[in-house]
């Protein structure tokens, strides 16, 4: 570890000087004088006295620098059989007009705007248009049901919603507008107006006086310029799963976000202006925010917006076709996507049909990358396959292999080493660092670097409680794992009730809240059991009220329907079992970990603290073997 060690040591020696230098990559209207404001520690703000505009840095400055004719966005959509390229100059015009629509309707700096859109360029334009006028966007993933959207509308209290008539899931057209109408009907807060992009696959009915047609209104609007905002003004809120049904609104500030993402584009992903960068994720997730939209555009790259799936649109060669056809230099996806491809094309016959010589590396994140999947990809791609670890909260990688600095030896099962900005300690329950090779809670020394969450929207006490209170002076990641003698980090499991299904972060607590509302259910638990494709999948265990007379099968299928209806198809909640009682400790804690081990067929011991061992014995026969963990 030569160069990386030097860079990391340089950061550690003088973090503020390190980030001040990184901040030179941003075009500020007012350069920040104070790098880190620690006057309210343990709450921190980066570049708070600087002023800049994120949209200007992501779009306008590239046009001004003569890159107007370069592709900014390539939309490749096998599900609609279309491909579109938007240059930086076109993007500037489209975004400025959409910002004009928002401004004409009264949206001003600091107002919130919800974006509920499929994987089309307009989703990025919506984000950028908000950034342009200093409005705070909150993108909601399309796979969430109306209720989840309503929860976010209530919390963010948006002035406007930007949406499209439909999304396309493989061969199915999913009408978004009825979900949006339902969400607005359910929410107490009502947006003033909605701008709806009509897609030909499903025409949405419009509500007179509230809904504007995207194309008509942007064509008529006057383009507006960029409003400078403070470095610590919010750019967006992204809701993510916590332990309850109320999602956490992760806040991202403008200044630190730009600085951090620009640093990663060069030093971590090793790309520069003109390169094609493809994050095969969705705009509704943090990966989509950081690396479909902002990161590549801030760096002047071409970003891919892919509307399809790794398999079935039309075959497991789609990813490789896109890489060849658009000369993708870096692909970033979730291990689940590779597992899906590997399952359909184990010998990688499709991959062999394409010229992937332009691909520099494959980056994986969002869930644990199992060594089998990594080695399959390495064997067939013959490129570095780099696992890196991060969270919605951090917005960029905590641990990675920084290709732009030095390619470190890869150890399958480890996302490599901490990035500058992050000092990672593995702590025991009392908060003391443990020896290398020992499992513990993964914590990061405060302050977190630029670009990470400064707080939770409308919920500072929850921010402190969730992340800062457990270990003094640290941010608690919610992940458990270890470090080895070389300082490589290993991420093993969550310490909370969050599960990861197909790289999607879900709350078992939220699913339990939905199940508890069923009139026949007295008590329930949802656990994440191993799934060979999706990493984990939820399993519901429900106990019925005394006297419940309906057939168990009916209740089980109602539970499945209820979670889909309330949380959405993304929850992938398909298994639910009625049991007599839940296994608990004497203090009443449900023994989730033991149930997961039984389902996954991994070794387990009867917990010494168990209240009634016969309960676990009874469940054991019902659930053992239901889980199929990846290696």
Rounded distance between C-alpha atoms, residue 193 and residue 229, angstroms:
24
Closest distance of CB 508 from ligand COA, Å: 16
572 binds, among ligand AMP, ligand COA, none (CB under 5 to 8 A by kind): ligand COA
Residues 6+ positions from 96 with CB-CB distance below 8 Å: 129, 132, 223, 224, 225
Among 298, 340, 361, 398, binds ligand COA (CB under 6 A): 340
Any contact of residue 202 with ligand COA (CB under 6 A)? no
Residue placing its CB nearer to ligand AMP in the complex, 230 or 478:
478
Closest distance of CB 568 from ligand COA, Å: 7
Which bin fits 134, alpha (ψ -120 to 50), beta or left (φ > 0)? left
Query: In whole angstroms, how large is the CA radius of gyration of the chain?
Result: 24
Rounded distance between C-alpha atoms, residue 463 and residue 334, angstroms:
27
248 binds, among ligand AMP, ligand COA, none (CB under 5 to 8 A by kind): none
Any contact of residue 529 with ligand COA (CB under 6 A)? no
Any contact of residue 334 with ligand COA (CB under 6 A)? yes
Taking the CA atoms of residue 566, residue 568, residue 574 and residue 579 in that order, the dihedral angle to the nearest 10 degrees is -20
Binding mask 153-172 for ligand COA (x = CB under 6 A): --------------x-x---
Residue 544's H or E segment, with its range, is strand 535-544
Furthest-apart CA atoms within the chain: distance in Å: 74
Residues 6+ positions from 631 with CB-CB distance below 8 Å: 370, 371, 372
Rounded distance between C-alpha atoms, residue 325 and residue 305, angstroms:
14
Please measure the distance between the N-terminal and C-terminal CA atoms of the chain and give it in whole angstroms: 29
Closest CA to 277 of 336, 320, 332: 332
Any contact of residue 506 with ligand COA (CB under 6 A)? no
Residue placing its CB nearer to ligand AMP in the complex, 321 or 462:
462
Closest distance of CB 179 from ligand COA, Å: 9
Residue 44's H or E segment, with its range, is strand 43-46
Residues 6+ positions from 477 with CB-CB distance below 8 Å: 391, 398, 441, 442, 443, 444
Residue placing its CB nearer to ligand COA in the complex, 139 or 337:
337
Any contact of residue 384 with ligand COA (CB under 6 A)? no
Closest CA to 167 of 159, 157, 153, 177: 177
Residue list 171-200, contact with ligand COA (CB under 6 A)? 174
Angle at the Cα of 398 (from 395 to 400), degrees rounded to 5? 115
Do 497 and 243 contact (CB within 8 A), yes or no? yes
Do 368 and 345 contact (CB within 8 A), yes or no? no
Any contact of residue 569 with ligand COA (CB under 6 A)? yes
Residue placing its CB nearer to ligand AMP in the complex, 499 or 521:
499
Closest distance of CB 441 from ligand COA, Å: 23
- Which stretch in 323-331, 439-447, 456-464, 496-504 sits in contact with ligand COA by CB under 6 A? 496-504
- Which stretch in 32-40, 234-242, 485-493, 498-506 sits in contact with ligand COA by CB under 6 A? 498-506
Rounded distance between C-alpha atoms, residue 79 and residue 69, angstroms:
27
50 binds, among ligand AMP, ligand COA, none (CB under 5 to 8 A by kind): none
Closest distance of CB 73 from ligand COA, Å: 18
Do 163 and 194 contact (CB within 8 A), yes or no? yes
Any contact of residue 295 with ligand COA (CB under 6 A)? no
The bridge status of strand 424-427 relative to strand 440-445 is antiparallel
Any contact of residue 366 with ligand COA (CB under 6 A)? yes
- Which stretch in 108-116, 146-154, 305-313, 619-627 sits in contact with ligand COA by CB under 6 A? 305-313
Residue placing its CB nearer to ligand COA in the complex, 533 or 597:
533
Residue placing its CB nearer to ligand COA in the complex, 338 or 544:
338
Closest distance of CB 238 from ligand AMP, Å: 9
Tokens 């509302």 belong to which residue?
Answer: 517
Any contact of residue 535 with ligand COA (CB under 6 A)? no
- Which stretch in 335-343, 472-480, 587-595, 611-619 sits in contact with ligand COA by CB under 6 A? 335-343
Residue placing its CB nearer to ligand AMP in the complex, 51 or 425:
425
449 binds, among ligand COA, ligand AMP, none (CB under 5 to 8 A by kind): none
Among 15, 50, 245, 310, binds ligand COA (CB under 6 A): 310
Residue placing its CB nearer to ligand AMP in the complex, 342 or 388:
388
Residue placing its CB nearer to ligand COA in the complex, 99 or 491:
491
Residues 6+ positions from 433 with CB-CB distance below 8 Å: 425, 426, 427
Closest distance of CB 570 from ligand COA, Å: 5
313 binds, among ligand AMP, ligand COA, none (CB under 5 to 8 A by kind): none
454 binds, among ligand AMP, ligand COA, none (CB under 5 to 8 A by kind): none
Q: Which two tokens stand for residue 631?
A: 């290696």
Do 315 and 354 contact (CB within 8 A), yes or no? no
Angle at the Cα of 271 (from 268 to 276), degrees rounded to 5? 130
Residues that bind ligand AMP (CB under 6 A): 240, 286, 365-369, 387-392, 415, 478-479, 491, 494, 500, 505
Among 503, 530, 535, 627, binds ligand COA (CB under 6 A): 503
Residue placing its CB nearer to ligand COA in the complex, 447 or 538:
538
HSE-CB of 153 using CA atoms within 13 angstroms:
29
Angle at the Cα of 374 (from 284 to 238), degrees rounded to 5? 15
Residue placing its CB nearer to ligand COA in the complex, 334 or 480:
334
Rounded distance between C-alpha atoms, residue 123 and residue 74, angstroms:
13
Closest CA to 20 of 255, 301, 298: 255
Closest distance of CB 369 from ligand COA, Å: 11
257 binds, among ligand AMP, ligand COA, none (CB under 5 to 8 A by kind): none
Residue placing its CB nearer to ligand AMP in the complex, 102 or 567:
567
Closest CA to 581 of 560, 554, 610: 610
Rounded distance between C-alpha atoms, residue 292 and residue 96, angstroms:
20
Closest distance of CB 387 from ligand COA, Å: 12
Q: Which residues pair with 305 in a beta bridge?
A: 75
Q: Which residues bind ligand COA (CB under 6 A)?
A: 142-143, 167, 169, 174, 281-282, 285, 287, 309-311, 334, 336-337, 340, 366, 502-504, 534, 569-570, 572
């Amino acid at each position: 570890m030569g160069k990386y060690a030097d860079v990391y040591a340089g950061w550690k020696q003088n973090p503020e000087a390190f980030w001040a230098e990184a901040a030179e990559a941003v075009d500020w209207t007012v350069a920040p004088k104070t790098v880190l404001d620690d006057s309210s520690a343990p709450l921190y703000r980066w570049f708070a006295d600087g002023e800049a505009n994120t949209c200007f840095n992501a779009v306008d400055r590239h046009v001004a620098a003569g890159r107007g004719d370069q592709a900014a966005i390539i939309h490749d959509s096998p599900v609609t059989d279309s491909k579109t390229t938007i240059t930086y100059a076109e993007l500037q015009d489209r975004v400025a007009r959409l910002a004009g629509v928002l401004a004409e309707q009264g949206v001003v700096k600091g107002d919130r705007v919800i974006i509920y859109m499929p994987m089309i360029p307009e989703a990025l334009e919506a984000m950028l248009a908000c950034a342009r006028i200093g409005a705070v966007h909150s993108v909601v993933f399309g796979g969430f049901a109306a209720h989840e959207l309503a929860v976010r509308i209530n919390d963010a209290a948006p002035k406007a919603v930007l949406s499209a008539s439909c999304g396309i899931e493989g061969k199915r057209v999913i009408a978004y507008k009825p979900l949006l109408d339902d969400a607005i009907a359910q929410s107490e807060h009502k947006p003033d107006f909605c701008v709806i992009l009509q897609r030909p696959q499903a025409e949405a009915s419009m509500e007179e006086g509230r809904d504007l047609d995207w194309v008509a209104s942007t064509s008529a609007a006057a383009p507006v310029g960029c409003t400078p905002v403070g470095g610590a003004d919010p750019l967006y809120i992204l809701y993510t799963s916590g332990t309850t049904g109320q999602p956490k609104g992760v806040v991202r500030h403008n200044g630190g976000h730009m600085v951090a993402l620009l640093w990663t584009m060069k030093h971590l992903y090793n790309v520069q202006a003109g390169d094609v960068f493809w994050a095969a994720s969705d705009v509704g997730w943090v990966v989509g925010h950081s690396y479909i939209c902002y990161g590549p555009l801030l760096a002047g790259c071409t970003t891919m917006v892919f509307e399809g799936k790794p398999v079935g649109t039309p075959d497991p060669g789609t990813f490789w076709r896109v890489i060849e056809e658009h000369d993708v230099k870096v692909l970033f996806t979730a291990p689940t996507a590779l597992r899906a491809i590997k399952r359909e094309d184990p010998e990688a016959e499709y991959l062999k049909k394409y010229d992937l010589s332009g691909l520099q590396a494959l980056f994986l994140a969002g869930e644990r990358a199992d060594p089998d999947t990594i080695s399959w990809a390495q064997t067939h791609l013959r490129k570095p396959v780099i696992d890196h670890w991060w969270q919605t909260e951090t917005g960029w990688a905590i641990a990675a292999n920084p290709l732009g600095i030095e390619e470190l030896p890869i150890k399958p099962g480890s996302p490599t080493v901490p990035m500058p900005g992050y000092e990672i300690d593995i702590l025991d329950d009392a908060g003391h660092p443990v020896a290398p090779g020992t499992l513990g809670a993964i914590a990061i020394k405060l302050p977190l670097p630029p670009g990470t969450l400064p707080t939770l929207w409308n919920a500072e006490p929850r921010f402190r409680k969730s992340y800062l209170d457990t270990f003094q002076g640290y941010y608690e990641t919610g992940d458990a794992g270890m470090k080895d003698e070389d300082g490589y980090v290993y991420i093993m499991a969550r310490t909370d009730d969050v599960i990861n299904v197909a790289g999607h972060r879900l709350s078992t607590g939220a699913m339990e809240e939905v199940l508890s509302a069923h009139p026949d259910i007295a008590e329930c638990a949802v656990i994440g059991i191993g799934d060979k494709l999706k990493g984990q999948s939820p399993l519901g265990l429900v106990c019925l009220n005394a006297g419940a007379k309906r057939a168990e099968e009916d209740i089980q299928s109602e539970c499945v329907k209820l979670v889909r209806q309330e949380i959405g198809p993304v929850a992938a909640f398909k298994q639910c079992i009625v049991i007599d009682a839940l296994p608990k400790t004497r203090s009443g804690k449900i023994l989730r970990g033991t149930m997961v081990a039984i389902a996954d067929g991994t070794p387990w011991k009867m917990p010494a603290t168990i209240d009634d061992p016969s309960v676990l014995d009874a469940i054991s026969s019902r659930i053992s073997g239901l889980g199929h963990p990846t290696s």
